[in-house]
Structure 1
Amino acid sequence: MPETPFYGWRIVAACMAFVSVSWSLGIFGMGVYVYALTESRGFSIGTVSTAVTTAYVVSAVLMVGVGRFIARRGPRPVVAVGVLAMTVGVTAMPHCQQPWQVHAAFLTLGLGMACLSTNTVGSTLAPWFERHQGRAMSTAMLGASIGGMTGTPLLMAGIRAWGFQATMALAAVIAVVVVLPLAAFVLKTRPQDMGQLPDGMPATEQGQSAQAIRWNLKEAIATRQFRSHVMAFGLGLMVQVGFLSHHVPIAIPVLGPRGAAAAVFSAAVAAFLGRLLLARYADQVDIRKVGACVFLLAAASLVCMALLPGPWALMATSVSFGLTVGNVTTLAPMILRREFGAASFGVVFGLAATLNQLSMALGPTVYGLLRAAFGSYGPALLLCGLLNLGAGMAIVWGGRRPLTAPHGVARVRSAN
């Protein structure tokens, strides 16, 4: 009788699909919303940037709850609620007339982002993979790059052809049609529900692993690994999300609307290629050292973008920064999944993601306020380059000592 294929890779494919939708309308869509709401609806860039921050704050506050809920009840209801909330938020944006309405639309979008976040992907995949958790996570997160390659150009093209309102309505319909069937028919909670074991391994090979070790939040917070993770990815994601939210306004004065869409597309292609490399080697490398290299490349890209503002330099630095975008978002859950195990991932990464995202939420506002204060994005880009340098130092510092499991159970390495 032929062996049943491991269902976990279908879960990976489903995660990739809903991530491509959520990143299109969430993180990569932010720059489009900033541009459309300021240009076609007359809102100030400060108002819209602050509303973007509102979305990220709401998403951050909900992160721990999302991880706990998925650990208890599975991912189906979370993903379904997430796509519905996200579509309500984007559909409402073109109808906003007052600043409070803009904030309400982005607040609803933030609820959807929390339910379709990296934490959701990691919590969904955690029970399914042990040996191949790095490859599974980085493969699923290829959807974020697909969202970046397709979302921004299609949204910009749709706004030019049909207007803001029609484009947002069509995007919402597509999101619901793609994601709701995945939640209803594809996503499952555990491999045991399908009569399988993590990685599809035979029962005789399962053995004892870090999956059986459980951390509470107090124990996790006390570790150098957790604290350095929060510091590094809080800074790195704040810089990254702030840049992505303002990438279109940064590029349009130099490249024009079509050129700006091409820059965003090129950055997303680069992010996709970076994620492919990570998917190939994730289970074989020291991912903290990889993280440090990613942060340093991001820092160099932003500094060069500030000092060399010409069209070719802007396109080149958009690509080099894009190489880091996918790996920053993917490495964050991978590091804690590897260090703290599957059983504790939802809770530990939920708290880390909350703290990271509260810091990350400041990114759009920092770029917006510095742009308003100095009349250009140069000072913001230089400052954020320095912050990425600090993130690279923090992630290396966190891996210099081995991680001791709680209650003296065992000693596990912080990275391969």
Structure 2
Amino acid sequence: METMVVAGRFFGWSVAWSAFAIAVFAWGIGFYGPSVFLQSLHQTRGWPISQISFAVTVHFLLSAIVIACLPEIHRRVGIAKTTFLGAVLTAAGLILWSNSREPWQLFAAAIPSGAGWAMTSGAALNAIVARWFDRDRPIAIALAFNGASVGGVLFVPLWVYLIRSIGFPSAALLVGGCMVATVAYLCVRFLVKSPEDVGLAPDGDASHQARAKPQPRRTRIEIVRSARFITISAAFSLGLFAQIGLLAHLVARLTPELGIEHAGFLVSLATVCAVIGRTAAGKWMGEHDRRFAATANFAVQIAGVLLLTLGQGSLGLTLGCVLFGLGIGNLTSLPPLIVQKEFEREDVATAVALIIAINQGVFAFAPAIIGAMHDTTANYQLPFALIAMIQFLAAVIILLGRRSTRAPA
């Protein structure tokens, strides 16, 4: 037990910080990176935005397939080995993206990049953290997922700088190598351990105090058919479709008015706000209604999207990025926390993986659809107005779904 408690601190917090670091790379490359890659490839290769956007869609769509199988992969291979493999695949995909000379090569690059994203993003982070925390999971999840926002803060301007100074291929090799080395260390040092190895339960409790009698696992069909699952999945699928669609085109939306450097700064500002929003939600959550928190989150984002749709000039667009940014992080961290409250512990990992997989299967089409609408209308007003409407529908669904939590699913 001495290896799991250092100077009075529960080892699980070191695991949560490891998940934070993994999220920095995962989101910096696989989530925020494509918005910069899109603009860079459009400018340097002259390829249409809609064509590059479709490759980003394939990246997310392929990852959804892997995410659906992630709980079984973790049980057979182990969380540490799976996470390291994800880092290697992410780096390989990144290098292929940067060296593409024909549009079709982007779709080949999306295969390893999509698989790597699946093994290092939301469902993976939840699996890393969940076995260490139960009572303190909202704070631990917020900490781990804040790495996603920090990845946006650091990597968007970093990508812009590196691509301009040393070129996309060299930048990809440098960043990919750093990710593989960092994740390898974290896996060996922290992720290979589990509380059960030394007789602990989640939150550092003694196993005899916290270990509940295991319940039979429900099948995927049983989980998917439940009203709770349907409302969570539908609401966050729509919300993330809107969010990914906007983020993939945010640099392209802001650049004509503000310039690429200022656009990169505003994306970073949005992700700083995401850290603030997620941290505040994690501390406030406790026993509060998590579906109501999701509804409020959607409302704040809608206000930001409307400003990005109708606003002009630096002030309006900056405020739009701030409001939209405050909700970015919670759209990824809230689903696992709602599932934790509404499902049996044995079903949480499967339910979370299925929700994230379905979410990605839906929002994978967002970059391509928003890109096609942009190319058709020659501006972002109509696409962003659609995003605001989708978020409103998501807020209604998650709020109405509160009734399903009062009766067995």
Q: What is the CA–CA distance in structure 2 between the aligned matches of 1:328 and 1:164, rounded to whole Å?
A: 30
Structure 2 SS opposite 1:181: helix
Q: Counterpart in 1 of 2:45?
A: 41
Contact persistence 1:57–1:358 (CA under 8 A): yes
Q: Counterpart in 2 of 1:11?
A: 15
Contact persistence 2:238–2:394 (CA under 8 A): yes
CA shift, 1:311, in A, is: 2.2
CA shift, 1:339, in A, is: 1.5
Q: What is the CA–CA distance in structure 1 between the aligned matches of 2:166 and 2:256, rounded to whole Å?
A: 23
Bigger drift between 279-288 and 225-234 goes to 279-288
Structure 1 SS opposite 2:45: coil
Q: Counterpart in 2 of 1:411?
A: none
For 1:174-253, what aligned pairs fall within 5 Å after superposition? Answer: 174-188=178-192, 190-206=194-210, 208=212, 212=215, 214-253=217-256
Q: What is the CA–CA distance in structure 2 between the aligned matches of 1:71 and 1:344, rounded to whole Å?
A: 14
Q: What is the CA–CA distance in structure 2 between the aligned matches of 1:25 and 1:401, rounded to whole Å?
A: 37
Structure 1 SS opposite 2:346: coil
Report whether the alignment pairs 1:25 with 2:29: yes
Q: Counterpart in 2 of 1:312?
A: 315
Q: What is the CA–CA distance in structure 2 between the aligned matches of 1:279 and 1:84, rounded to whole Å?
A: 31
Q: Counterpart in 1 of 2:272?
A: 269
Please report the RMSD computed on the Cα atoms of aligned residues, expressed in angstroms: 1.8
CA shift, 1:93, in A, is: 1.9
CA 73–191 in structure 1, closer or farther in 2 if over 3 Å, else same: farther
CA shift, 1:137, in A, is: 1.0
**Cα deviation 1:315-344 (Å, max 9, x = unaligned):** 110111000100111112211122214321
CA shift, 1:275, in A, is: 1.3
Structure 1 SS opposite 2:291: helix
Q: What is the CA–CA distance in structure 2 between the aligned matches of 1:64 and 1:36, rounded to whole Å?
A: 31
1:287 pairs with one of 287, 290, 300:
290
Q: Counterpart in 2 of 1:413?
A: none
Q: Counterpart in 2 of 1:142?
A: 146
CA shift, 1:287, in A, is: 1.0
Q: What is the CA–CA distance in structure 1 between the aligned matches of 2:87 and 2:336, rounded to whole Å?
A: 22
Q: Counterpart in 2 of 1:367?
A: 370
Q: What is the CA–CA distance in structure 2 between the aligned matches of 1:203 and 1:67, rounded to whole Å?
A: 23
Structure 1 SS opposite 2:391: helix
Q: 1:330 corresponds to which letter in structure 2?
A: S
Q: What is the CA–CA distance in structure 2 between the aligned matches of 1:402 and 1:272, rounded to whole Å?
A: 29
Contact persistence 2:258–2:314 (CA under 8 A): yes
Q: What is the CA–CA distance in structure 1 between the aligned matches of 2:220 and 2:109, rounded to whole Å?
A: 33
Count of paired positions: 405
2:128 pairs with one of 115, 124, 128:
124
CA 392–144 in structure 1, closer or farther in 2 if over 3 Å, else same: same
**Cα deviation 1:74-113 (Å, max 9, x = unaligned):** 3112111111111111112232111110111122211110
Structure 2 SS opposite 1:128: coil
Q: What is the CA–CA distance in structure 1 between the aligned matches of 2:405 and 2:378, rounded to whole Å?
A: 47
CA 196–203 in structure 1, closer or farther in 2 if over 3 Å, else same: closer
Structure 2 SS opposite 1:252: helix
Q: 1:182 corresponds to which letter in structure 2?
A: L
Q: Counterpart in 1 of 2:71?
A: 67
1:82 pairs with one of 78, 86, 91:
86
Contact persistence 1:225–1:403 (CA under 8 A): no
Q: What is the CA–CA distance in structure 2 between the aligned matches of 1:328 and 1:72, rounded to whole Å?
A: 29
Q: Counterpart in 2 of 1:160?
A: 164
CA shift, 1:63, in A, is: 0.9
Q: What is the CA–CA distance in structure 1 between the aligned matches of 2:105 and 2:394, rounded to whole Å?
A: 35
**Cα deviation 1:24-66 (Å, max 9, x = unaligned):** 0011111111011111122211110000000000011111211
- The unaligned stretches of length 5 or more in structure 2 are none
Q: 1:129 corresponds to which letter in structure 2?
A: F
Q: 1:11 corresponds to which letter in structure 2?
A: V
2:103 pairs with one of 71, 94, 99:
99
Contact persistence 2:306–2:320 (CA under 8 A): no
Q: Counterpart in 2 of 1:410?
A: none
